[in-house]
Structure 1
Amino acid sequence: MTLLVSRTVRSLLRKTPFSTTGTTTPIGASIRTVTTLQETLAAQVPEKQKKMAELKKSYGSEVIGQVTVDQCIGGARGVKCMLWETSNLDPDEGIRFRGLTIPECQAVLPTYSGKAGDGEPLLESLFWLLLTSEVPTKEQADSLTADLHSRAKLPSHVVPLLNSLPKDMHPMTQFTIGLAACQTESVFAKAYQDGVPKNLYHEYALEDILSVVAKLPEIAATIYRNVYHDGVVSQDTSLDFAGNFCRMLGYNDPSFDELMRLYLCIHTDHEGGNASAHATHLVGSTLSDPFLSYAAGLNALAGPLHGLANQEVLKWIQELKDKFESEGKPVNAETITEFAWDTLNAKKVIPGYGHAVLRKTDPRYTCQREFALKHMPDDELFKVVDTIYEVMPDILKEHGKVANPYPNVDSHSGVLLWHYGFTQYQYYTVLFGVSRAVGGLSQLYWDRALGLPLERPKSVTPEWIWSQVQK
């Protein structure tokens, strides 16, 4: 199963690197139909392994941070102790995917129309970028689409299992069950049992990673159709990943397809410290296969402090509207300010505002706002969200207990979905889960390719901390 790339292809790849410093030359203009995803990665692995070994040998004892007592007992916030290839989150600048900001990704990644910048990027093109650090050609993105479609069929026992689950079981619980049930097809687990050499783990992990991403849409759509509709899932594999997913959900609107491409792309990755990405990485470090590793990530995503936050935002906005409409008052800056202070004085948070790392408006919020201005400028809920955006930062600054008074990604995503009639907000986190697999599992590939070890931090007792600080 060892993947080989010709010397000619390797040479061309070396001569046409993708730069993360602003140069956005697509790779391989002369090899547009030659390099597959597997070949591209096979060419990169030896060099990255070499650089990792050199880094450990030459600089392994260098100090890159320190840990305070606050960080130890406060969730390890800001502790620099995790390697993450695929993205970096800057407190002031926001997310970069392999060095590219969201607007830069929108400008250079292939789209459904085939023209970069004409519509939202294909999820497949961002998946390629996160795995390889290279901007794919449209042909390469299309080849990945075809590969994912070919892997999408679920094991025969999975749909009957999903059909048997109670409809009032939370969709995220069902999602985790469905993915874990697919683990029977893990190539990595079988290869490990068969004694495959450690230096080949990444090849088998990649097979599983592609299969997990491919199977998630039908699992997610089956849950959606079972819980909210007639249980029937239809497909159109002539479309890209996002377009076909929309058909499976029951939506046939090109504008909604574009929203789903944007939604899936911007939720893929947010560096490695977030709970779902970290859980995937942690479980994967035990050499659990990608199916089980990402099932762990989904369980983390299901928490109200993580992926459930977007539904909390929509609930808050709906409560705001209902309150003032029942009182015969308009929803405007004055009434929003009143409702916000009522929320804060009740010792509650304003959902959708603040972030553990960011100290500015989340670029993922901004690109969704731009989508709304283009596609739905007169939508009633969007106008409410836009007014909240105008007044909330000053309210939170005056309140004084929020490190970041600006909106995050969750502040906007639910309103966009609601506009298209996707009103089942308990399900929104499942959409997040379909997307986040791409980032967490792209890193999991490099975890195995670089031979990263079992993650096992040292814990300390409160008594130990006291003994240290009192010395």
Structure 2
Amino acid sequence: MEIKKGLEDVYVKETEITYIDGELGRLYYRGYSIYDLAEFSNFEETSYLILYGKLPNIFEYENFVRSLKESRSISNGLREFLKSVKKDANPMDVLRTAVSIMGLEENTHVYSISDQSIVNLISKFPTIVAYYIRLKRDLEPVEPDPELSHASNFLYMVNGSKPSEEESKAMDVAMILHMDHEMNASTFASLVVASTLSDLYSSIIAGISALKGPLHGGANYEALKMFREIGDVDNVEKYILTKLSNKQRIMGFGHRVYKTYDPRARILKTYAKLLAEKKGGEIKKLYDIAEKVEEIGIKYLGSRGIYPNVDFYSSIVFYSLGFEPEFFPTVFASARVTGWIAHILEYVKDNKIIRPKAYYKGEVGRKYIPLDSR
């Protein structure tokens, strides 16, 4: 009996959503190169592509954009909940509970996926995150602006001012790059719940819970902590060698699928550099450290197929756009929710409850001893 720890290389379904070529470092959404989508598309169009399998025509695109804009506001019940949350709560716990409240408000008892529930989840995630960020900062929440795109509005609600074109594009690209990545831990968690024919909100809550882990959605937070811990470019090589000699991980390096440079990291590096040069100060210093970590890390790890992954430069992009590190996973979730929904829609078309086996290696036939005789 071969035990596949972590279900590595175990296929659970066929998919037409995302294809990863780990050897060549290529990523495709519905057959379209991630490089083309990052350069020419936007969050709204790519979301439609991921969900429905094709690029929308102008009518479909405008209807989808309008639906997202009209659904951004959150209920009074959600507002009151967010105001009641302690300021030191884990933001992913807050997001998870907020989605539970959304499910209660929609009164979903059994399996059902409506177009409105899909739009609600995608459009409201940023509003929930931004609302809690503002409250945590002792600032008044900012209401959504229907004139702004999805990515621009997210930044506007977080920072209270309309973002520059460069900031909007960086946010848009970052959200596209985080939208889906085949059968990762959070997507699989969502499918496990969906396969029982539970409701969509419950399935998404499972995804959020899995993404909260530092080995998944929290890895970019750990990467930024590493850059700060290093402190200066001159400290990089010694820091890396010490980590490697102690058999410790270099955060933001390595991926189970990619055996070369993660294409998402390549794209995000461009935007991290752009934002660092524009903002200067701490952001520029962190970028310079990251670039040196990349150089030294590849020098010692590249021969083993270990290169920067998406978390490496996304940490600097998110931080430069105004997000505190503890909120990085919620930004990730605000993009990945589209992928979770798409995989759920695909799986339940030919549904079978996910029920793997565990190989028993314990004793059998043990004699029960009454409590007073033990």
Distance in 2 (alpha carbons) for counterparts of 1:297 and 1:175: 11
Distance in 2 (alpha carbons) for counterparts of 1:320 and 1:229: 31
* Paired residue type of 2:300: I
Matched with 1:80 is: 11
Which residue of 247, 262, 269 maps to 1:347? 247
Question: Alpha-carbon deviations, 1:47-68, whole Å to 9, x = none?
Answer: xxxxxxxxxxxxxxxxxxxxx7
Shift, 1:396, TM fit: 2.3
Shift, 1:429, TM fit: 0.8
Bigger Rg over Cα: 1
Matched with 2:201 is: 291
Is residue 85–residue 443 contact of structure 1 (8 Å, CA) maintained in 2? Answer: no
The normalised TM-score by structure 1 is: 0.71
Matched with 2:131 is: 222
If asked which structure has higher relative contact order (CA below 8 Å, sep 6+), I would say 2
Matched with 2:167 is: 256
Shift, 1:138, TM fit: 4.8
Is residue 73–residue 143 contact of structure 2 (8 Å, CA) maintained in 1? Answer: no
Could you say what the CA RMSD is over the residues aligned between the two structures, in angstroms?
2.2
Distance in 1 (alpha carbons) for counterparts of 2:247 and 2:64: 48
Shift, 1:85, TM fit: 3.2
2:198 aligned counterpart, secondary structure: coil
Matched with 2:52 is: 132
Distance in 2 (alpha carbons) for counterparts of 1:154 and 1:372: 31
Distance in 2 (alpha carbons) for counterparts of 1:281 and 1:459: 19
1:276 aligns with 2:176: no
1:96 aligned counterpart, secondary structure: strand
Matched with 2:78 is: 158
Matched with 2:367 is: none
Question: Alpha-carbon deviations, 1:411-448, whole Å to 9, x = none?
Answer: 0011123334x251011111001011011101212233
* Paired residue type of 2:220: N
Number of aligned residues: 355
Question: Alpha-carbon deviations, 1:212-263, whole Å to 9, x = none?
Answer: 1122121111111111241422321111211111111124222222111011
Matched with 2:330 is: 430
Distance in 2 (alpha carbons) for counterparts of 1:155 and 1:313: 35
Distance in 2 (alpha carbons) for counterparts of 1:87 and 1:419: 29
Check 1:319–1:376 CA distance in 2 against 1; reply closer, same or farther (3 A cut): closer
Distance in 2 (alpha carbons) for counterparts of 1:380 and 1:456: 48
Q: What percent identity do the matched residue pairs reach? A: 25
Distance in 2 (alpha carbons) for counterparts of 1:124 and 1:343: 41
Is residue 205–residue 445 contact of structure 1 (8 Å, CA) maintained in 2? Answer: no
Distance in 1 (alpha carbons) for counterparts of 2:334 and 2:323: 18
Matched with 1:267 is: 178
Matched with 2:297 is: 392
Provide structure 2 residue ranges, at least 5 long, that are not aligned to the other structure.
364-374
Which residue of 176, 181, 188 maps to 2:101? 181
1:102 aligns with 2:34: yes
Is residue 71–residue 123 contact of structure 2 (8 Å, CA) maintained in 1? Answer: yes
Is residue 178–residue 219 contact of structure 1 (8 Å, CA) maintained in 2? Answer: yes
Distance in 2 (alpha carbons) for counterparts of 1:90 and 1:460: 32
Which residue of 109, 115, 123 maps to 2:43? 123
* Paired residue type of 2:299: D
1:168 aligns with 2:88: yes
Distance in 2 (alpha carbons) for counterparts of 1:294 and 1:417: 23
Distance in 2 (alpha carbons) for counterparts of 1:406 and 1:355: 8
Which residue of 111, 116, 119 maps to 1:210? 119
1:276 aligned counterpart, secondary structure: helix
The normalised TM-score by structure 2 is: 0.88
Distance in 1 (alpha carbons) for counterparts of 2:83 and 2:145: 22
1:270 aligned counterpart, secondary structure: coil
Check 1:443–1:128 CA distance in 2 against 1; reply closer, same or farther (3 A cut): same
Structure 1 stretches of 4+ with a deviation exceeding 4 A read: none
Is residue 272–residue 314 contact of structure 2 (8 Å, CA) maintained in 1? Answer: no
* Paired residue type of 1:96: Y
Is residue 253–residue 309 contact of structure 2 (8 Å, CA) maintained in 1? Answer: yes
2:89 aligned counterpart, secondary structure: coil
